[in-house]
Structure 1
Amino acid sequence: MKTIYIVDDLTAIRQMLADVLERHNYEIVGDNGNGQDALKEIQDLKPDIVIVDARLPGLNGLEIVRRLNRQLPNTRFLVFSAYQNPTIVKDMLEAGAHGFVEKTANLREFISGLGIVAEGGTFFGPNVAELIRSVVANPGNVQRSKDTLTEREREVLQMIAEGHSTKEIAGKLGLSIKTIDNHRTNMMRKLDLHNVASITRYAMQNGLIDLEPAI
Structure 2
Amino acid sequence: MSGGDRPASERTIRVVVADDHTIVREGLVMILRSAPDIEVVGEASDGEQAVAMVQQSQPDVVVMDISMPGTSGLEAIRRIRRDWPQVKVLALTIHESEDYILHVLRAGVHGYVVKRAAGQELLSAIRAVMRGESYLHPAIVQVVLSDYLHRLEHGQEEPLLTEREREIVRLIAEGYKNREIAQRLNISLKTVETHRANIMQKLNINDRVQLVRFAIRTRLIEP
Query: Do these two structures clear the TM 0.5 threshold for a shared fold by scoring above it?
Result: yes
Q: Are positions 1:100 and 2:112 aligned together?
A: yes
Q: Percent identity?
A: 22
Partner of 2:167: 149
Partner of 2:15: 4
Displacement of 1:67:
1.9
* 8 Å Cα contact 2:81/2:108 also seen in 1: yes
Q: How does 1:115-126 map to 2 (within 5 A)?
A: 115-126=127-138
Count of aligned pairs: 184
Q: 1:182 to 1:49 in 2, by over 3 A?
A: same
Query: Separation in 2 of the partners of 1:5 and 1:183?
Result: 39
Partner of 2:218: none
Q: Are positions 1:133 and 2:151 aligned together?
A: no
What is the RMSD of the two structures over their aligned residues, measured on CA atoms? Answer: 3.8
Query: Separation in 2 of the partners of 1:7 and 1:183?
Result: 35
Query: Separation in 1 of the partners of 2:43 and 2:191?
Result: 33
Structure 1 gap ranges (5+): 161-165, 170-176, 206-215
Query: Separation in 2 of the partners of 1:56 and 1:22?
Result: 23
Partner of 1:22: 33
Partner of 1:67: 79
Task: Name the TM-score, length of structure 1 as normaliser.
Answer: 0.67
Displacement of 1:130:
0.8
* 8 Å Cα contact 2:20/2:44 also seen in 1: yes
The aligned amino acid for 1:149 is: E
Structure 2 gap ranges (5+): 1-11, 159-164, 200-206, 214-223
* 8 Å Cα contact 2:60/2:87 also seen in 1: yes
The aligned amino acid for 1:27 is: E
Deviation track 1:138-167 (CA, whole Å, cap 9, x = no partner) reads: 248x9x9xx9237xx849x6577xxxxx9x
